[in-house]
A and B are shown apart, each in its own frame.
Chain A
Amino acid sequence: DQQVKQNSPSLSVQEGRISILNCDYTNSMFDYFLWYKKYPAEGPTFLISISSIKDKNEDGRFTVFLNKSAKHLSLHIVPSQPGDSAVYFCAASSSYNTDKLIFGTGTRLQVFP
């Protein structure tokens, strides 16, 4: 039972444009969401997070939007840069099991010049 889903396995965007990566979840107990970025042969690195008390969190070029009623979150990267090319994982956690992150299967983003 996959509780966190990233339905787009890949995304290709031109440099300078906006990249939008989507994530859906099924467990209404999730109240904290994170995005991780992963380069080949490296471990995932934390990018940005959002608590369920908010619907938006912004950090530089990265913004995460949370729609609790739709159980959907998205990561916006603007402007996209070639260095953003990586696999992006969405993850979720709940306050009754704080240490347990549930990851999606990732979306491979390619930013081309």
Chain B
Amino acid sequence: DTAVSQTPKYLVTQMGNDKSIKCEQNLGHDTMYWYKQDSKKFLKIMFSYNNKELIINETVPNRFSPKSPDKAHLNLHINSLELGDSAVYFCASSQGVFRSGGYLSYNEQFFGPGTRLTVL
């Protein structure tokens, strides 16, 4: 069973189009994320949602709009695609942070396989 799945795996489209990438996790996690890995291999967070609520919204153009219909899904919709949007987009999920013995412990993030977006 795939823990975090993304569709499609590859997406090739023309500039100016609108496209969506879907993400689903079957781990029962409360928090989901979108990351972008650009051509320089930087992996940068774009958004995070906790129980369908937006928690993190990095400096991302408003052409990018995440949508979370339920806590198992976090989709990414991109309007008016530009050449610079070409990248690999990763979805991730985690159970978040918990306290143990008075200290914060972090649950690791589980990543999907990525969606390679190419804008022509």
Residues of A within 8 A of B (CB): 31-32, 34, 36, 41-46, 49, 51, 53, 87, 89, 93, 95, 97-101, 103, 105-106
Chain B residues in contact with chain A, CB under 8 A?
Answer: 4, 31, 33, 40-45, 48, 50, 55-56, 90, 92, 94, 96-97, 103-106, 108-114
When the two chains form the complex, which single residue of A43, A46, A101, A103 contacts B113, counting CB atoms closer than 8 Å?
A: A43
CB-based contact A49/B43 at 8 Å: no
Give which listed residue, A42, A43, A99, A105, contacts B41 with CB less than 8 A.
A105
- Provide the residues of chain A in CB contact with B113, threshold 8 Å: 41-43
Q: A43-B112, A51-B105, A98-B104 are in contact. List 8 more A-B contacts (CB 8 A).
A: A41-B113, A46-B109, A49-B108, A51-B103, A87-B41, A99-B56, A100-B45, A105-B42
In contact, A45 and B111 (Cβ under 8 angstroms): yes
CA A112 to CA B38, docked complex, whole Å:
28
Do the beta carbons of B110 and A46 come within 8 Å of each other? yes
Rounded to whole Å, the gap between the CB of B88 and the closest CB of chain A is: 9
Residues of A within 8 A of B50 (CB): 99
Of the residues B31, B40, B114, contact of A43 by C-beta under 8 Å: B114
Q: Sorted from nearest, which 6 A-B pairs have the closest CB atoms?
A: A43-B111, A46-B108, A103-B43, A98-B97, A99-B48, A44-B111
Closest to A95 in B: B104
A41 touches B106 (CB 8 A): no
Q: Check A43 against B92 for contact (C-beta < 8 Å).
A: yes
- Nearest chain B residue, comparing its CB with the CB of A43: B111
CA distance A85 to B15 in the complex (A): 36
Which residues of B have CB within 8 Å of A44? Answer: 43, 90, 111
Show 10 A/B contacts (Cβ-Cβ < 8 Å), sorted by A: A41-B114, A42-B114, A49-B106, A51-B103, A53-B103, A93-B106, A97-B56, A99-B55, A100-B56, A106-B43
How far is A6 from B46 in the complex, measured between Cα atoms in Å? Answer: 21
Q: How far is the CB of A51 from chain B (nearest CB, A)?
A: 7
Considering the chains assembled together, what is the distance between the CA atoms of A48 and B114 in angstroms? 21
Cβ–Cβ < 8 Å partners of B55 in chain A: 99
Q: How far is the CB of A69 from chain B (nearest CB, A)?
A: 20
